[in-house]
Chain A
Amino acid sequence: MSDTQQKASENVVISKVGVAAGYVDDRLASANFTKRLLDKVFPDHWSFMLGEIALYSFIILLLSGTYLTLWFNPSMTEVIYNGSYLPLKGVKMSEAYSSALNISFDVRGGMLMRQIHHWAALFFVAAVTVHLLRVFFTGAFRKPRELNWLIGTGLLTLAILEGFAGYSLPDDLLSGTGLRIAQGIIQAIPLVGTYVAMFVFGGEFPGTDFIPRLYSVHILLIPGILLGLITVHLIMVFYQKHTQFAGPGRTESNVVGYRLYPVYMAKAGGFFFIVFGVTSLIAGLVTINPIWLYGPYTPSQITAGSQPDWYIGWLDGAVRLTPNIEWNILSHTISWNLLIPALIIPGIMFTLLGVYPWIEAWVTGDKREHHILDRPRNAPTRTALGVMALSFYLILWIAGGNDIMATAFNLSINTVIWTLRFALFAVPPLAFVLTKRICLGLQRRDKEKLLHGYETGRVLRLPHGEFIEIHEPVSFEERAVLLSKVDVPALEITSGEDEHGVRNPKGRKAKIQAKLSGWFYTENVSAPTEEELAEADEHFAHQLGAHERTAIDSH
């Protein structure tokens, strides 16, 4: 194509776009919005893709889930299986289980879609969890993003519920066992538990009503809420602009990165296909939830070593660890052995998670907006709190597999449980102290690197016999990051009385706040002063000179 021809064809394309855009703009005044949308700059960092994985997994779940609904029949009507999976031929089962088997063995590609759906669900909750950890440890939840954090907590809760509802639907032996446990827990709620259990299940367990009811919850109610909340979550990210890590050219008042159009459309769009592709490959190669091996559900059978999907593990672990406390008062039963692990502990954990931004803001008295992310080491108390909570969660999660551990390592199940019971109280505080110390150590090293450079490993012998190691200044990028550490003073402790001796009604609260703020900040290593930095630069220049002299001498 000659140059003039090319130019002409470009003009045609542009004017076509112009006509289409004009048509829409005449009706929606969309030009201004579209301009800002396409031009929007996003910062680049691998950890920002975690939320993307969650979003893409959700889209994969919607697509594969819709496909599954074309054949799945959530009915408890008893049928005799007559599909192509021979070991179960002639076995009585519910239509739900039978149709799930048909999807697996008689619909071509049905097995692949079932496996994609299940793997995507596992990835979805995992991605949401890791994304949440990233947001927590970098302080991205701080003002102005507290509300989006709260939505995120809601999304995590719903994602776990939705996953549980999903793997309970096929009515195989494993899923029925999970439902039996859920029903037992509902029944343990004081006062209303028995009624709620009867109403939810349409009578006694298992009944014939629950699976169809759960189906509408799983394919309509929860995904609908998830979709709505995800939309709000994304709009808020867009509106408030994404946070960014410190680096050259990054400030609290700018965003440095690439434009949505075309770079991020290609990158993020491409990443969707990668997530979908990897999920499909794993689904094709690694079997998950082989319901055909479990057999149909019956309340009198179970397989040893039953394990829920990974995200339910911590709840099951909590139930396994709680001692058998049950009260009988005035001929009424309070089952603390279920209420504590299944309702109280998760209730406290999710509440603390949701309100954490406000707790931290109150403790630190910090009311500023934050758009530059914290390095976890520079907020040691927060990081330590996070690791502490994480270790608590992990011990519960490990406890969910206590029987597997006992058989795999040939241990007594009693020893495993008692060890984990103690660990649940001993490990988190230990994790807190250790993490805080490690963070402070890293802060010290950062300061040292700024002032004395990094150790090159090159040792020089000076003419008078002394050995020295050459230190070099850190790279430009690293220097920009290290310099970005903000020194935050702790709140001052105000006296409870003013100069006339009148008690300040808010004095006590302020005192507690100041003390907590001190606990949050005081041990932080201060950033180097300008004088120190200038001195360090001079020192480097000087050392460089000495260094060159030595090089000349040696020739």
Chain B
Amino acid sequence: MNEIELSSSDPIGARDGKDVVSGVPVLPLPAHTPRRADIDPIAAKRAERQVALMFASSIALLIAFTVAYIKVPNTSLVAIPVLGTVGTNHVLLGLTLGLALFLIGTGAIHWAKKLMPDVEVTQERHSLSSSAAERAEVVEIFNRGAAESGFGEHKLIRRTLLGALALLPIPLVVLLRDLGPMPKTLLRNTIWKKNVHLVTDATYQKIKASDIPVGGLINAVPENLLEIEESEGNLNQRGKASIILVRMDPAEIIAQQGENWDYEGILAFSKICTHVGCPISLYQQRTHHLLCPCHQSTFDLANKGNVIFGPAARRMPQLAITVDNEGYLIARGDFKEPVGPSFWERG
């Protein structure tokens, strides 16, 4: 401790070695120890060259960036260990730009650390509060203004003004009315109807009951979905009407949401989770459990689609199905309860 040279006087804000505000002991600032570059011209020159080298490398890298941009085609790929196969152009641009920026940064900081002053400077903090007189003056000005305007006196003016201001948000809210339609029964119905064919989700093929093996699973949509254009809400309808078909041994079915809603062990359930509406995709054949990948709600398809685990509160709605004369699966009507996540009016 003895070898450190100390400045003799108290720092700003301390008296007799104590902080005047908090009262804790304050040790003085140690005297500045010069750096190599402060006393050795060779070291200073070396630091200067190092900084310049970093800036010069940055220049070279920025030119390399431009060359890579022009010369390396966007389609060429390169295999790099760990990273895998990546776009050559992309990696080169990232490397050259990244390093160029990085070197400007390190150059500037190296410059500051080696060559700019490193003597710590002490500045005084001033109290943030104004003087009592100034504060009183502000209050006085405020009161004078209030008195001059007569805001307190003219009750009629005050009340009508407040009334007008209170109503001002109305147009702002009203203007938002046309953002969207009223909910009406939109959330209660899907496009499923009596005798609509079930078709596969991706290729839109009608589904023959005999084609589904026990244990099989098919994603399906109503055939009339094909008639709806994208701009007319195809995705909206798809988001409600998507179903999954599973076939199980009829003996394993414990209960259904309606009498004989299955067709020879083929059950149709909504694919849209009753929690927040993720499409459910993980089905465990052996247990007939359906698991939502978003929040892990689990439903038992062999037993009315009831919730057996997770945050969902409602069972998966079941769709009653049968076959037409040619053996293709058709719906017997719409879902009997709203599909998808809950909402206030659902009940």
Contacts and interface: CB of A to CB of B under 8 A. Distances in A.
B13 A253 contact: yes
Interface in A274-331: 274-287, 298-306, 316, 319-326, 328, 331
A199 B279 contact: no
B311 A254 contact: no
A335 B311 CA distance: 10
Contacts of B28: 248-249
B281 interface: yes
Interface in A153-207: 177, 180-181, 183-185, 187-195, 197-207
Interface stretch (A105-113, A126-134, A379-387, A431-439): A105-113
A284 B22 contact: no
Given A200-B180, A319-B295, A480 B186 contact: no
A332 B344 CA distance: 5
Given A250-B26, A251-B12, A281-B94, A259 B121 contact: yes
B121 A284 contact: no
Interface string B64-83: 00000100001100000001
A258 interface: yes
Contacts of A256: 11, 29, 120-123
Interface string B215-228: 00001010000000
Contacts of A78: 230-231
Interface stretch (A227-235, A261-269, A356-364): A261-269
Nearest to A255: B123
B206 to A, nearest CB: 18
A188 B276 CA distance: 9
A337 B87 contact: no
Contacts of A298: 235, 238
Contacts of A338: 275-276, 311, 341-342
Nearest to B231: A208
A267 B117 CA distance: 12
A319 B279 contact: no
A319 B128 contact: no
Contacts of A515: none
| Dominant SS among interface residues on chain A | mixed
Interface stretch (B108-116, B164-172, B321-329): B108-116
A369 interface: yes
A305 B181 CA distance: 34
Nearest to B30: A248
A144 interface: yes
A518 interface: no
B265 interface: no
Contact of A277 (B7, B13, B101, B278): B101
Contact of A278 (B98, B112, B113, B179): B98
Interface stretch (A2-10, A27-35, A482-490, A493-501): A482-490
A332 B293 contact: no
B103 interface: yes
A543 interface: no
Contacts of B60: none
Nearest to A301: B279
Interface in A235-254: 240-241, 248-254
Contacts of A151: none
A189 B346 CA distance: 12
A52 B24 CA distance: 31
A422 interface: no
B264 interface: no
Contacts of A324: 275, 297, 307, 310-313
A480 B347 contact: no
B180 A209 contact: yes
A417 interface: yes
A208 B232 CA distance: 9
Contacts of B204: none
Given A252-B13, A273-B101, A258 B187 contact: no
A270 interface: yes
A108 B111 CA distance: 34
Q: Which of A78, A252, A255 has the most CB of B within 10 A?
A: A252
Contacts of A181: 276-278, 294
Contacts of A279: 98
Contacts of B240: 204
Given A111-B90, A203-B233, 12 more contacts: A180-B278, A181-B294, A199-B179, A203-B186, A249-B120, A263-B118, A266-B116, A278-B98, A279-B98, A300-B238, A332-B344, A480-B26
5 nearest A-B pairs in the assembled complex, by CB-CB distance? A284-B94, A277-B102, A184-B276, A253-B13, A270-B108
20 contacts: A84-B74, A181-B276, A181-B294, A184-B275, A184-B340, A185-B276, A191-B344, A198-B186, A207-B233, A251-B26, A253-B21, A254-B124, A274-B101, A285-B94, A287-B86, A304-B293, A326-B313, A333-B345, A338-B276, A369-B128
